[in-house]
Amino acid sequence: MYIILPILVLWSFGLGLVPLLDWDEANFAEVAREMLTTGEWSFVRIGYEPFWEKPPLFFWLQTLSFKLFGVTEWAARFPNIIVAFLTLWVLYLIGKKRNPKFGLILVLTYAVSFLPQFYFKTGLIDPLFNLFIFSSFMLWNHFELTSHKTALVFSAILMSLAILTKGPTALLVCGSTLLIIWVIERKKSWSWSRPFVFGVFSLLSIVPYLIWMKHQGTLNQDRVASDFMSYLMRLFSTADAGHSGFPLFHVVVLAFGCMPASLYLYSGWKVSDSFSLRLKVLLVTIVVIFGMVQTKIIHYSSLAYFPLTYLAALGIEKQLSFKKEFHYLSQVAWLAFLAVLFFIPVIFSNESLMILIRDADLMESMRSAHSINPIKSLTSWSVMIFVLLVWVMLFSVKKINQRPIYLALSGVVTLQFWLVFVVPDIAQIAQGSLISFYKRAAKEKVNIQPLGFKSYASYFYSEFDPKRGAPVYAVSRARDQDWAMKNHPIQTLERTGGWVLYRMLK
């Protein structure tokens, strides 16, 4: 607990400094805002129209947060700070079964890795979804080892909550993993009762979700089930929302996004016991399943953070106990990763380096930002933090067995500095003008219409209300201005930050 609380305080700082990310963060926050506005918590809507892609559990948490703290970015992200506490606590309990020291190592390994700590500072569903799945999976394993029915009951409850958070994908991942484990262990302790019990377990777990689907279907003429199946098929067969990638996309994401933990994965993989075997199977299953999904989004494989960091913690345990020599390659790789990370704001603050940016919209926003308000803090923060990191690394040269600790401490400090002091400036460049246009519509209590692109942030920041009638304002990317003027009855009001604000003409 004395380690977890300081980490949570650090993560809580700066939650509201960055606007909600389109699409997912803004999408979920808007669903919660509309729940709060309408007072109907049992239905999920977006733009006050039925939204069937996600069940309601996480939205209830966000709605409660809005009710307590107001409708802000901070409140939208606060539920995941609570999820972070529960996650680190669960990890400690799991690690403690090996030994108390390992419980602490496991918590730190997860907490200091880049993507795990990044997602706890967002308003995304995945941290809660992953916690429910992993906890259910661990309790199921406990049931198989001990036959304790209490573990089975709680495993089913947690799986039901996972499905109510993001859908039946939870059963797909868990069931596929268990099937592979049963095949591997068939010569040791195979029993047909395992798949039978899991079948009953699955049916009971999905009942609350099916009840909600039926209830939600009353908003959509009972088409919600068929529409949801079409949505799943689209994710597997096409690059939905333009999110495409190569087959090993998630391997690369986990290798780089889970640094420094991933640097110790190979060493931890060599540990042979029944528990680590199950986590290896879980990790591989996640990578394979989401490698098959054509829609490539970084957080789709975020459940893999649990088995990856556990196996990495085994490798770190070796290092701390002098059983394995520290590889300088790990230190160099971590430095290289952070060097790339901190080079990003250098690009944003140097016009001659903008050619490295491939996104035309972002390039336009960057040029506009430089012409209006030159960025002065990005480079200075990056250089200062990177120098601090190098100093810590050099300080630890002679303390071979303690280098993982220095990696952890330097990692959590530098990454939090980057997220709190650098990312907000980048976000301001990328969408600051756009968000200000949305807020202008909210202040005047009128609606605003995006032209040529899709946005859920337009609903959230303009406080969209269909009772206001037709949109008064419209907004487009600067590069789409000619197209927008040609195809819509609009009048240009302002062009800044790569975006154009229009007044709709009747």
Q: What sign results for the dihedral spanned by CA atoms 56, 58, 64, 70?
A: negative
Q: Which two tokens stand for residue 176?
A: 């596929």
**What is the percent of the chain where pLDDT is above 90?**
44
pLDDT in tens, 105-159: 999 899 888 899 889 999 999 999 999 999 999 999 999 888 899 999 999 999 9
CB 106 within 8 A of CB 92: yes
pLDDT for res 446: 96
C-alpha 116/C-alpha 302 separation (Å) is 8
Length of the chain: 506
The reported pTM is 0.88
**499-504, strands of its sheet edge to edge:** 448-450, 473-477, 499-504, 490-496
What is the maximal distance between C-alpha atoms in the chain?
A: 75
C-alpha 377/C-alpha 299 separation (Å) is 29
- Cα dist. 320→73, 101, 328 in Å? 40, 10, 15
**Of the listed ranges 97-106, 263-272, 366-375, 490-499, the one predicted with least confidence:** 366-375
Decide if pLDDT at 371 tops 60.
Answer: no
pLDDT for res 379: 54
Closest alpha carbon to 164 in 220, 119, 205: 205
| Span 275-297, average pLDDT | 89
Quickly list H helices, 418-492.
423-443, 457-461, 481-487
Buried b (16+ CB within 10 A) or exposed e, 24-35: bbbbbbbbbbbb
C-alpha 418/C-alpha 440 separation (Å) is 29
pLDDT for res 7: 80
C-alpha 147/C-alpha 153 separation (Å) is 11
CB 302 within 8 A of CB 257: no
**What is the percent of the chain where pLDDT is above 70?**
77
The residues facing 491 across adjacent strands are 503
Which residue, chain included where needed, has tokens 């600790």? 405
pLDDT band at 34 (very low <50, low <70, confident <90, very high): very high
Q: Please indicate whether residue 8 or residue 442 has the higher confidence score (pLDDT).
A: 442
Q: What are phi and psi of 468, to 5 degrees?
A: -70, -20
Q: Please indicate whether residue 355 or residue 61 has the higher confidence score (pLDDT).
A: 61
Which residue, chain included where needed, has tokens 């990317």? 477
Q: Of 211-215, 381-385, 462-466, give the range with the top mean pLDDT.
A: 462-466
C-alpha 290/C-alpha 5 separation (Å) is 33
**Mean of the per-residue pLDDT values of the chain:** 82
Which residue, chain included where needed, has tokens 């995941």? 80
Q: What are phi and psi of 340, to 5 degrees?
A: -65, -45
| Span 446-455, average pLDDT | 93
How many CB atoms are located within 10 Å of the residue 174 CB?
A: 25
Q: Please indicate whether residue 35 or residue 396 has the higher confidence score (pLDDT).
A: 35
pLDDT in tens, 207-254: 999 898 888 877 765 555 555 555 555 555 555 555 555 678 889 999
Can you tell me whether residue 176 is helix, strand or coil?
helix
